[in-house]
Amino acid sequence: MSAPGGWDLFWMLTRTEFRLRDQGTAAGFLWTLLHPLFIFLILYVLFTRWMAPLIPDFAAYLLIGIVQWNFFSSGTSAGLSSLRRKAGLIASYAFPRVFVVLSSVCAVLLSHLLEWAVALAALAAMGVRPTAFWLCLPLLIGLELALVTGLSAVLALLAVDVRDLDRVWSIFLYGFFFLTPVFYAAEVVSAPAWQLVALNPLTVIITATRAALLGGTCRPPAGAWLLAAACAALGAAALACFGRLSRGVAEKL
């Protein structure tokens, strides 16, 4: 059986995923927004006395880190489980299986863009003045999207065979959060530990975003162009190989 019109199916899947995230209404989006807001309040209360003397505009610094971390965490988790969640559709229709992963990531992306709208308004309310460098934000969102999409495609295929991968990934995310400078700066981390943190691709993305929104510069940190190329290559390679690697997925599901 063929699927209803290729890309039409993709947008249908994306809309469905978005609504399932309780964001079909404004009230639903507010409920979803409570999670990053709660994390922000907890981290701000716990660490403001420690970090505020070291980090100017600590509240804004923290908010940017949480918004970008939330996209990475939610996007990869949704992508990982996407094929399993759509097992019935995959078994019933013939269509590019990559649409399932892409629609899951894009639904999270729509939420992420709404979160950014709220975050930018909050930054303005905190006294952060918009500059022309804020125009760099779409490029940085695109860079993180490439990273999330590539990882999601790999994780979704692995999750077909490794049934407990979602639990393993949740544990990994817990540790990875502390390897990402969401609420701390380089000054409070030892040099050897910071070298490990610096290898984290989210470190470069978040640092560049803070520089653009708070520092008034689009100068990328060291290794940023290499990271951008790696993220783009990961996303392109994962999507290019997905069709061949996903053969037989319907039978396994």
> Tell me: the pLDDT tens digits for 123-171?
999 999 999 999 999 999 998 998 899 899 889 988 888 889 999 999 9
pLDDT score at 17: 86
Note down the domain range covering 86. 6-252
226 is a domain residue: yes
Residues 6+ away with beta carbon under 8 Å from 36: 66, 67, 70, 115
1 is a domain residue: no
Domain count, the chain: 1
Query: Could you please report the per-residue DSSP string of 85-125?
Result: HTHHHHHH-BS-THHHHHHHHHHHHHHHHHHHHHHHHHHHH
The residue behind tokens 């709208």 is 117
> Tell me: the pLDDT tens digits for 79-111?
999 988 888 887 777 777 888 999 999 999 999
70 is a domain residue: yes
